[in-house]
Amino acid sequence: MRLTSFTDYALRVLLYTAAHEEQLTTIAEIQKTFDISKGHLMKVVHLLSTEGYLHAVRGRSGGIRLGKAPEEINLGQLVRLTEPDFRLAECFGQENHCIISQFCKLPGPFNQALDAFFETLDGHSLKDMMLTRDIFGPTVERTFPQRGSSFDLGTETV
């Protein structure tokens, strides 16, 4: 069970941009900070701009800034936007050949589980997640803890 790196990058772009609200941010700056693919990042910024999450200023000294207040950027709504699909089983997609599709009872609990997932995210906004500007800077000593759920491979929880 995964979310795409598209969603991951969208969240990083918004966190970075939110922490640098006093100036315009550039894609190059975010790319350098996180050391992630520029092509991928451009697609993310394009979608977030189209959907009003970012405001893009064109020109030589252009860049991006948040298009909404951080408290108006809801995590659940964002992930619904950035994920390409929510295919928990073959019958959730358009290419469905499963012969028990019209009888199967599994979509009930799976759709409920998906709803519960998004209801949780719906309770949080970018404002709750904001980091200070210095965290993105070069002087911070960094560690790379695994932050996944405790039942995943027996690793540490948050």
Interaction residues for a second copy, span 21-60 (CB under 8 A): 33-35
CA angle 18, 25, 38 (to 5 degrees): 110
End-to-end CA distance of the chain: 18
Cβ 7 to a second copy, closest distance in Å?
8
Q: Which is nearer to a second copy, 28 or 57 (CB)?
A: 28
Considering the complex, state which of residue 23 and residue 146 has its C-beta at the smaller distance from a second copy: 146
Is 57 or 113 the residue whose CB approaches a second copy more closely?
113
Give the rounded distance of the alpha carbon of 30 from its chain centre.
Answer: 15
Angle of CA points 15, 16, 19, to nearest 5°? 85
Taking the complex as a whole, the smallest distance from the CB of residue 52 to a second copy amounts, in Å, to 18
Instruction: Give me the amino acid identity at 102.
Output: Q
Subset of 124-153 contacting a second copy (CB under 8 A)? 124, 128-131, 135-136, 140, 142-149, 151-153
Residue number with CB closer to a second copy (68 or 92): 92
CB of 61 to a second copy, least distance (A): 26
* Cβ 76 vs Cβ 121: under 8 Å: yes
Integer Cα distance of 74 and 83 in angstroms: 14
Integer Cα distance of 111 and 121 in angstroms: 15
Using DSSP's 3-state secondary structure scheme, residue 63 falls into strand
φ, ψ of residue 59 in degrees (nearest 5):
105, 175
Interface of this chain with a second copy, residues 63 to 92, rule: CB under 8 A: 75, 79-80, 83, 85-92
CB of 58 to a second copy, least distance (A): 28
Q: Tell me which residues in 89-128 interact with a second copy (CB under 8 A).
A: 89-94, 96-121, 123-124, 128
What's the closest the beta carbon of residue 89 comes to a second copy, in angstroms? 5
